[in-house]
Structure 1
Amino acid sequence: MNAPVLTIYRRITRWPAGHRFFSRLICLKAPYFATIAPRFVALEPGRCEVRICDRRRVHNHLGTMHAIALCNLAELAAGVMTDATIPADMRWIPKGMSVEYLKKAVGTMRGVATPEAGVPGAGGGREWPVGVEVTDDTGETVLRARVLMWVSLRKHG
């Protein structure tokens, strides 16, 4: 399973500032995620780690990280992990997401996405759950998310 996104990640991150460049490429493909200024830290089949810094533009009225910024981090990590994990002849789209806000989010946030089930095989469309844990600088979990992906075969032609 050598998905194009994973191949690009492996090539680019060998360069100086490669992680920054890869992060920008992802935001060019999906521009909305640029609002949280993500930084990809690790990507491999079955795992994606993304960080976002504590900046005023992602704060709520309390001065902590806004809940939707955390949701964006979770969706981004889950989506890129899914893309790097499923077979190349498959495609995905988020179908739903449930979240638990466990603690005020202050400081740099780290989101790690991992699948809850084995890699989907060939066949018709199916749901594929992805778990995302977002932790703060101290390693405490501030948000737990479950992103339900719809995975199906790519249409040819």
Structure 2
Amino acid sequence: MNPTLKLWQKMAAYPAGRQLFSKGVCLKAPYFGTIKPVFEELDTGRAVVRIKERRALHNHIRSVHAIALCNLAEVAGGVVCEASMPAGMRWIPAGMTVRYLGSAKGVLRGYATMRDIVVGEKGLVPVTVEVKNTAGDVVFDAEISMHISPKK
């Protein structure tokens, strides 16, 4: 089993385990900490990450800033990619296409989905992320192209 996924499954079983896992992700990649993400679900090919609207994330119209939403997409997409990698493979984002579909307010959840994994060879794998508000409306979506290659 993938070590990241194994760690998630072990930690998520404890009351504060999801928060500790999320903080660990932010220690490894500190910029993610600016949005204070909390992982709610993680499995091969799927992740759900929550953030809460707060003043530090606001834009000039008092909704969550576009780049904070991109940050949410990247943390959800990156960790689902990490948790889905077979042994001996690595990933790095190669590009991201985003759409802003509505005002991002309140509690927001990023739903990341990874359909394909290139095993043993180089390739680009798409990871899709939808960000929904509390009402379930999609306020942002992204497709991240992940460059997958064997570890050296």
Aligned partner letter, 1:14: A
Q: Secondary structure at the match of 1:82?
A: helix
- Other-structure match for 1:132: 129
Structure 1: tracts of 5 or more residues without a match: none
- CA distance in 2 between counterparts of 1:112 and 1:8 reads 20
Amino acid at match of 2:58: H
Separation in 1 of the partners of 2:149 and 2:43? Answer: 21
1:152 aligned to which of 123, 140, 149: 149
Structure 2 residues without counterparts, runs of 5 or longer:
none
Matches of 2:147 and 2:108 in 1, distance apart?
A: 26
The residue number in structure 2 matching 1:88 is: 87
CA–CA separation in structure 2 for the residues paired with 1:133 and 1:98:
12
Q: Deviations over 1:64-98 (max 9, x none)?
A: 00000000000110000001112021000000000
Letter in 2 for 1:11: K
Question: TM-score w.r.t. structure 2 length?
Answer: 0.98
The residue number in structure 1 matching 2:38 is 39
What secondary structure does 1:106 align onto?
coil
> In 2, Cα distance between the equivalents of 1:19 and 1:72?
19
Q: Residues 89 and 119 of structure 2 are in contact (CA less than 8 Å); yes or no, is this contact kept in structure 1?
A: no
State whether structure 2 residue 72 is matched by structure 1 residue 73.
Answer: yes
Name the TM-score, length of structure 1 as normaliser. 0.94
**AA matched with 1:3:** N
Letter in 1 for 2:73: A
Q: Structure 1 residue 22: deviation in Å?
A: 0.5
Q: Secondary structure at the match of 1:72?
A: helix
* Structure 1 runs, 4 residues or longer, greater than 3 Å off: none
In the comparison of the two structures, how many residue pairs are matched? 152
Using the aligned pairs only, state the percent identity: 47
Q: Is the partner of 2:23 in helix, strand or coil?
A: helix
Shift of 1:14: 1.1
Structure 1 position 118, deviation (Å):
2.2
**What do the CA deviations read for 1:44-73 (whole angstroms, capped 9, x no partner)?**
001010000011111111110000000000
